Chain A
Amino acid sequence: MNTVAIIRGALRRTGSSIRLVALLYILNLLLALPLALAFRDFMTRALGDSLAGNQLMTGFDFTVVRDALAKDGAGWFSLTRMLVWSIPVYLLTSIFLTGGVLSFLVHSQTRFSPAFFFQECTTYFFRFLKVFLIFGASLLLLALTLGLLLLVLLGLVTLGSPSEVTLITVFLLCAAIFLFPALLLFLAADYARIFVVTSAERKMWSAFREGIRFVRKEFFPVLGLQALLLLFPAVFAIAYLLLEGAIPMVSGVTIILVLLFQQAYVISRMWTRVLFFAAQSALYITRAVP
Chain B
Amino acid sequence: MRQLRLRFFLLSSFLFALSGRCPGQQALFREPLSPRIANYDIAVTLDADKKTLQGSETLTWHNPSPEAVRELRFHLYLNAFKNNQSTFMKESRGYSRGLSATEGEWGGITVNSIKTSDDVDLTASMEFVAPDDGNERDQTVLRVALPGPVPPNGTIQLAIQFTAKLPKVFARTGYGRDFFMVAQWFPKIGVYEWAGQRYATTGQWNCHQFHSSTEFFSDFGVYDVAITTPEQYVVGATGLQIAKRRNSNGTATVTYHAEDVHDFAWMASPQFVDLRDEWRHVTLRVLMQPQRVHQAPRYFRAVKAALEHLTTHVGPYPYPNITIVDPPFGAEGAGGMEYPTLITAGSMAGVGESLRMAELVAAHEFGHQYWYGIVASNEFEDAWLDEGVNQYYEGRIMTEEYGLKTSFLDLAGIGIGDLEFTRAGYLGMRNPKLAPITTFGWKFPAGGYGSLTYMKTAAVLTTLENIIGRAAMDSVMKTYFRRWRFKHPCARDFIQTFNEIIPAIHADRFGKDLNWFFDQLLFGTDLCDYEVTSISNSTPASPRGEIDSSWVKKPGVGGEELESTVTVSRLGEVRLPVDLLVHFENGEEVVDTWDGQERVKEFTYRKPSRALWAVVDPKGKLVVDACVVNNSKAADPPASPVRKYTAKVLFWIQNILQFFAIAG
**Chain A interface residues toward B at CB < 8 A:** 28-29, 31-33, 35-37, 39-40, 43-44, 46-54, 56-57, 59-64, 66-68, 70-71, 83, 86-87, 90-95, 98, 128, 132, 135, 160-165, 167-168, 186, 249-252, 255, 258-259, 262-263, 265-266, 269-270, 273
Given contacts A57-B640, A66-B428, A93-B661, 11 further A-B pairs with CB under 8 A are A46-B629, A52-B628, A52-B631, A61-B405, A62-B416, A86-B657, A91-B663, A162-B329, A163-B291, A250-B640, A259-B651
Tell whether, in the assembled complex, residue B644 and residue A62 are in contact, meaning their CB atoms are under 8 Å apart: no
Contact B638 A32 (CB under 8 A): no
Minimum CB–CB distance from B611 to chain A (whole Å) comes to 13
Q: Which of B619-646 contact A (CB under 8 A)?
A: 626-634, 637-638, 640-646
Task: Decide: A164 and B657 in contact? CB cutoff 8 A.
Answer: no
Interface of A is mostly: helix
B615 at the interface (CB under 8 A from A): yes
**What residue of chain A has the Cβ atom nearest to residue B661's Cβ?**
A94
Please determine whether A71 and B629 come into contact, CB atoms closer than 8 angstroms.
yes
- The one of A46, A160, A165 in contact with B291, judged by C-beta atoms closer than 8 angstroms, is A165
**Residues in B neighbouring A164, C-beta threshold 8 A:** 291, 329, 348-350
CA distance A109 to B414 in the complex (A): 48
| Per-residue A-contact encoding for B414-430, CB less than 8 Å = 1, 0 else | 11110011011001100
Contacts of A160 in B (CB 8 A): 177
Contacts of B649 in A (CB 8 A): 35-36, 39-40
Nearest-CB residue, chain B, relative to A52: B629
Q: Chain A contacts of B289 at CB under 8 A?
A: 162-163
The answer on a CB contact under 8 Å between A255 and B644 is yes
In the bound complex, do residue A87 and residue B650 qualify as a contact, i.e. CB atoms below 8 Å apart? no
Question: Which residue of chain B is the closest to A139 with respect to CB atoms?
Answer: B663
- CB closest residue in chain A, given B635: A49
Query: What bracket does the count of chain B residues touching chain A fall in?
Result: 35 or more
Q: Are A266 and B348 in contact (CB under 8 A)?
A: no
Closest B-chain residue to A131, C-beta based?
B664
In whole Å, how far is A141's beta carbon from the nearest beta carbon of chain B? 16
**Which of A46, A51, A266 interacts with B654 by CB under 8 Å?**
A266
- State how many angstroms separate the Cβ of B138 from the closest Cβ of chain A: 34
A249 B647 Cβ-Cβ under 8 A: yes
Closest partner residue, chain B, to A135 (CB atom)? B663
Verify if B613 is at the interface (C-beta below 8 Å from A).
yes
B424 lies within 8 A of A66 (CB): yes
Please indicate which of the listed interface residues B350, B637, B644, B656 has the most CB atoms of chain A within 10 Å of its own CB. Answer: B644
Contacts of B663 in A (CB 8 A): 91, 94, 132, 135, 186
- Contact mask B389-429 → A, CB, 8 Å, 1/0? 00000000000000001000000011111001101100110
Do the beta carbons of B415 and A62 come within 8 Å of each other? Answer: yes
In chain B, positions 453-471 with a C-beta closer than 8 Å to chain A are none
**Residues of chain A within 8 A of B349, CB atoms compared:** 163-165, 168
Nearest chain B CB to A59's CB is how many angstroms away?
6
Q: Is the CB of B660 within 8 A of A48?
A: no
Determine whether the beta carbon of A56 is less than 8 Å from that of B645. Answer: yes
User: B residues within 8 A CB of A67?
Assistant: 626-629
A37 CB contacts on chain B under 8 angstroms? 646
B644 touches A249 (CB 8 A): yes
Give every chain B residue within 8 A of A91 (Cβ-Cβ): 660-661, 663-664
Given contacts A50-B633, A59-B415, A162-B329, contact A36 B424 (CB under 8 A): no
Instruction: Determine whether B45 belongs to the interface, using a CB cutoff of 8 Å to chain A.
Output: no
Is there contact, CB below 8 Å, between B654 and A29? Answer: yes
CB A189 to nearest CB in B, in angstroms, measures 8
Report Cα–Cα, A187/B485, bound state, in Å. Answer: 70
> B283 near A: Cβ within 8 Å?
no
B653 within 8 A of A: yes
Distance between Cα atoms of A165 and B177 in the complex (Å): 16
Q: Which of B348, B626, B642 contacts A44 (CB 8 A)?
A: B642
A165 to B613, CA, bound (A): 54
**With an 8 A cutoff between CB atoms, is B539 at the interface?**
no
Question: Which 5 A/B pairs are nearest by Cβ-Cβ distance?
Answer: A53-B641, A94-B664, A94-B661, A36-B650, A51-B632
Task: Note all chain A residues with C-beta closer than 8 A to B247.
Answer: none
B271 at the interface (CB under 8 A from A): yes
A75, B350: Cα distance in complex, Å: 37
Across the interface, do A162 and B633 meet the contact criterion of CB distance under 8 Å? no
CB distance from B444 to the nearest CB of A (A): 23
Q: Is the CB of B414 within 8 A of A60?
A: yes
Distance in angstroms from B531 CB to nearest chain A CB is 10
The answer to whether A63 touches B632, judged by C-beta atoms less than 8 angstroms apart, is: no
Give the residue name and chain of the B residue nearest to A163 (CB): B291
Say yes or no: A31-B657 contact (C-beta < 8 A), given A47-B642, A91-B664: yes
Residues in B whose Cβ lies below 8 Å from that of A70 = 427-428, 627
Contact indicator B656/A251 (Cβ below 8 Å): no
Of the A-B pairs whose beta carbons lie under 8 Å apart in the complex, a sample of 15, sorted by A's number, is A35-B649, A49-B634, A50-B633, A51-B615, A51-B637, A51-B638, A57-B644, A60-B413, A62-B416, A64-B628, A66-B424, A83-B656, A162-B329, A168-B349, A255-B640
Q: A132 contacts B664, CB within 8 Å? A: yes
The reply to whether B660 and A90 contact each other, CB–CB distance below 8 Å, is yes
A98 contact from B291, B427, B633, B664, Cβ within 8 A: B664
Determine which of A62, A162, A259, A273 lies in contact with B271 in the assembled complex, contact meaning CB atoms within 8 Å: A162
Q: B657 to A40, Cβ gap below 8 A?
A: no
Chain A residues in 8 Å Cβ range of B423:
63
Report the nearest B residue to A66, measured CB to CB. Answer: B424
Query: In the complex the two chains form, what is the Cα distance from A227 to B636 in whole Å?
Result: 53
- The one of A68, A87, A94, A135 that contacts B629, using a Cβ cutoff of 8 Å: A68
- Assuming the contacts A36-B653, A168-B349, asked whether A62 and B664 have C-beta atoms less than 8 A apart, the reply is no
Q: Does B655 contact A (CB under 8 A)?
A: yes
> Which A residues touch B613, using CB under 8 A?
51
Known: A47-B641, A91-B664. A32 touches B329 (CB 8 A): no
- B646: chain A residues at CB < 8 Å are 36-37, 39-40, 43
Contacts of B615 in A (CB 8 A): 51
Nearest chain B CB to A100 CB, angstrom units:
13
- Inter-subunit contact B664/A53 (CB<8 Å): no
Across-interface contacts of B637 in A (CB, < 8 A): 47-51, 53
B658 contacts the other chain (CB 8 A): yes
- B328: interface (CB < 8 Å): yes
Q: Which B residues lie within 8 Å of A92 (CB)?
A: 664
Nearest B residue to A28 by beta-carbon distance? Answer: B654
CB distance from B608 to the nearest CB of A (A): 23
Nearest A residue (CB) for B178: A162
Contact between chains at B645 and A43 (CB < 8 Å): yes
The answer on a CB contact under 8 Å between A62 and B424 is yes
Instruction: Tell me, in angstroms, the Cα distance from A43 to B650 when the chains sit together.
Output: 13
A163: which B residues are within 8 A, CB to CB? Answer: 289-292, 328-329, 349
Contacts of A270 in B (CB 8 A): 658
- A52 CA to B637 CA in the complex, in Å? 10
B641 CB to nearest chain A CB (Å): 3
Closest to A262 in B: B651
Q: Establish whether residues B641 and A57, one from each chain, have CB atoms under 8 Å apart when the complex forms.
A: yes
A98 to B664, CA, bound (A): 7
Contacts of B626 in A (CB 8 A): 67
Given the complex, which residues of B lie within 8 Å of A32, measured CB to CB?
650, 653-654, 657
Q: Are B632 and A52 in contact (CB under 8 A)?
A: yes
With A and B bound together, what is the CA distance between A92 and B663 in angstroms? 10
Nearest-CB residue, chain B, relative to A254: B644
- Check B628–A63 contact: CB distance below 8 A: yes
Of all chain A residues, which has the CB nearest B332? Answer: A164
* Pick from B641, B651, B660: contact of A56, CB under 8 Å: B641
Residues B653 and A83 in contact, CB atoms below 8 Å apart: yes
User: Which residues on A sit within 8 Å (CB–CB) of B638?
Assistant: 51, 53-54
Q: Which residue of B lies closest to A136 (CB)?
A: B663
CA distance A252 to B350 in the complex (A): 40
The docked-state distance in angstroms from the alpha carbon of A128 to that of B661 is 13
Please, which residues of chain A bring their CB within 8 A of the CB of B645? 39, 43, 56
Measured CA separation A67–B630 after assembly (Å): 9
Q: Are B655 and A269 in contact (CB under 8 A)?
A: yes
B361 to chain A, nearest CB (A): 16
A87 and B657 in contact, given A44-B642, A56-B641 (Cβ under 8 angstroms): yes
Report the bound CA distance from A255 to B423 in whole Å: 32
